[in-house]
Chain A
Amino acid sequence: MLAPAGGPSPGPGPVIPRFGGGSSCVVHNGQFCASWFVDNFGSRFAPRLVEHIELTAIAVGVGMVIALAAALIAHRQGWFETPFSLLSAFLYTIPSLAFFELMVQVTGINRFTAEIALVSYTLLILFRNTLAGLRAVPPDALEAAQAMGLSRRQMLLRVELPLALPPIMAGLRIATVTTISLATVAAYIGAGGLGEPIFDGIQTGFKTEFIAAGGLAIALALAADGLLVAAQRLLTPWARRRRA
């Protein structure tokens, strides 16, 4: 049993004076006090949720830009694949808490530090999927494009990237879901997000708080995944239309 942080602790079981709403659920620290969650959603959870979305969007966005650039280089210059794969795989293996702690010594306790770690974790999957997508573009489509007089840039923008989109989107989905999960740990170094109420709930022992925050993180992951699936269907209508 976790000791309640700070406050007086009369009797057995945690007492949470700070959240001292009147309901008996809160007083007895029930599994999940829905009314307390509803009452406190706007003040305690909504801002953290927004922060969490920001943390994730920035991490995945920046990660995608870096991974795309690296994949394009590796696609043209084969030798680049191995070193970048090794680097991104190495970053991926570092335990997250250790990574955060390590980066704090370099860039301090802030959001930027958290983003560095989160971006690093997206690189492996985004790089591999993007490169695989570029390599899977049918060579006959490329030959046709070349024979039609498309420049390299036109081929990339009009043929290669659109055709590589399904594996890229698959990578984005995995990266987004794992980042949402990982970003909860970022609260440890003061980056905000849903990790804050989770840590808080763990420290105070107030179950409703960390269950609510964890549930929100899960819901966010599911929603983000659903949105990306919808985006993929919208962007690649051709992938579903086949001759019967």
Chain B
Amino acid sequence: MVSGEGTQVAATRPAASAAQIAFQSVSKRYPGRGQAAVEDLSFEVPSGEICVLIGPSGCGKTTALKMVNRLIPMTGGDITIDGKSVNAIETSQLRRGVGYVFQQIGLFPHMTVQDNIGTVPRLLGWSKGRIRERALELLELVGLGEEDNLRRYPGEFSGGQQQRIGVARAMAVDPPIMLMDEPFGAIDPITRDRLQDDFLRLHREVRKTIIFVTHDIDEAIKMGDLIAIMRDGRLVQIDTPDNLLAAPADEFVAGFVGADRGLKRLRVWTLGDLDLDPLARSSDTLPSAPAGTSLRDALSLMLTAGASRVAVLGEDEAAAGSVSLEAIAAILGPQARAPGP
């Protein structure tokens, strides 16, 4: 969804500083119910990162999310944004600084796309011209950057397009924080995959702090810088996707991430994360892939080509080295190391 123009647009915008979010022993109890919906939840999301909350239905992940912008009031503990308690911020001011995207999207059917995106800017007294400019800029960012779209109504778009508009609307006043509650949950798998890719690309540009709720472990691994697994209102484990897959804290986490967690890990790593072997003379016959290819895709490439090595292409599209089947297998072995530059 991020085109060349989108990059320029983002570059000319004032950079929003992302904010750090901290949960401090947060709990939510409903009167008359024995078990707390959320109990003693503590974790931090560093600024500019995506933290995925995941767990089975009823584990409290959505409740935890909605306590950040106080759609649900917490009953114990505190949540701070850059050190400031959300309870100390006036409600509407807090909510305008926190973008909110959810599965049902919630576009206003009676407003044009421009008016939908301009809802909060209008409340803040922006001029019509500025709202229009901003709406178009955001539409470009989410891949719907045609002027005609501004005057159309939500009902005229597909579900995937509506969710893009929903994301654009949530970013209207450039909030440092975004809360996303199963945003792609109601969208068909192919469109969902594209939306995820596009959103990740968008996130690399705008670098907001994001809390992302899902029940889909594959989505969590793909989207998260951090994954927090919850069960019965409590945090079970929070870690990077790779560590979570390599070292699940207990049986519950291991079961939740799946028996194929080894293969899932290969999706977290790219060829560029490995030390490259020098190219042999006979490397012309090897299958090749760009350095950004996931190990999972590289493995698939090798197996289908019947090769035990893959040539890794550098940014200039020339082979920079190669990676062997053994090197990939070694990652999943007992002496694991973290991926990284």
Known: A140-B104, A238-B155. A163 touches B109 (CB 8 A): yes
Q: Are B92 and A151 in contact (CB under 8 A)?
A: yes
- Please give, as numbers and ranges, the residues of chain A lying within 8 Å of B106 by CB-CB distance: 138, 140-145, 147
Q: Are B71 and A146 in contact (CB under 8 A)?
A: yes
Question: Is B43 part of the contact surface with A, judged by Cβ < 8 Å?
Answer: no
CB distance from A57 to the nearest CB of B (A): 26
Known: A149-B93, A158-B119, A241-B156. A163 touches B104 (CB 8 A): no
Question: Is A148 part of the contact surface with B, judged by Cβ < 8 Å?
Answer: yes
Q: How far is the CA of A238 from the CA of B156 in the complex (A)?
A: 9
Q: Which residue of B lies closest to A164 (CB)?
A: B110
Known: A140-B105, A148-B100, A241-B153. A236 touches B110 (CB 8 A): yes
Question: Is A162 part of the contact surface with B, judged by Cβ < 8 Å?
Answer: yes
CB distance from B180 to the nearest CB of A (A): 11
Known: A148-B119, A241-B155, A243-B156. A159 touches B108 (CB 8 A): yes
Question: Is A154 part of the contact surface with B, judged by Cβ < 8 Å?
Answer: yes
> What 1/0 flags go to B177-189 for Cβ under 8 Å of A?
0010000000000
Q: Are A140 and B102 in contact (CB under 8 A)?
A: yes
Q: Are A242 and B156 in contact (CB under 8 A)?
A: yes
Q: Are A147 and B71 in contact (CB under 8 A)?
A: yes
CB distance from B115 to the nearest CB of A (A): 9
Q: Are A148 and B120 in contact (CB under 8 A)?
A: yes
Question: Is A150 part of the contact surface with B, judged by Cβ < 8 Å?
Answer: yes
With most chain B CB atoms within 10 A of its CB, the pick from A144, A151, A239 is: A144
Q: How far is the CA of A162 from the CA of B93 in the complex (A)?
A: 25
Q: How far is the CA of A201 from the CA of B95 in the complex (A)?
A: 67
CB distance from A164 to the nearest CB of B (A): 10
Question: Is B157 part of the contact surface with A, judged by Cβ < 8 Å?
Answer: yes
Q: Are B111 and A149 in contact (CB under 8 A)?
A: no
Question: Is B152 part of the contact surface with A, judged by Cβ < 8 Å?
Answer: yes
> What 1/0 flags go to B217-237 for Cβ under 8 Å of A?
000000000000000000000
Q: Are B108 and A141 in contact (CB under 8 A)?
A: yes
- Please give, as numbers and ranges, the residues of chain B lying within 8 Å of A138 by CB-CB distance: 106, 109
- Please give, as numbers and ranges, the residues of chain A lying within 8 Å of B71 by CB-CB distance: 143, 146-147
* Neighbour of B109 across the interface among A139, A141, A142, A145, CB < 8 A: A141
Question: Is B150 part of the contact surface with A, judged by Cβ < 8 Å?
Answer: no
Q: How far is the CA of A142 from the CA of B104 in the complex (A)?
A: 11
Task: Give 14 pairs: A residue, B residue, CB < 8 Å, sorted on A.
Answer: A140-B102, A140-B105, A143-B102, A143-B106, A144-B102, A147-B95, A149-B92, A150-B92, A150-B123, A154-B123, A158-B119, A159-B108, A165-B110, A238-B109
Interface residues of chain A, those whose CB is within 8 Å of chain B, are: 138-151, 154, 158-159, 162-163, 165, 236-239, 241-243
List 11 extra interface pairs beyond A144-B100, A149-B94, A241-B152, CB under 8 A.
A140-B102, A140-B104, A141-B106, A144-B107, A144-B108, A145-B106, A147-B98, A147-B179, A148-B120, A150-B119, A159-B108
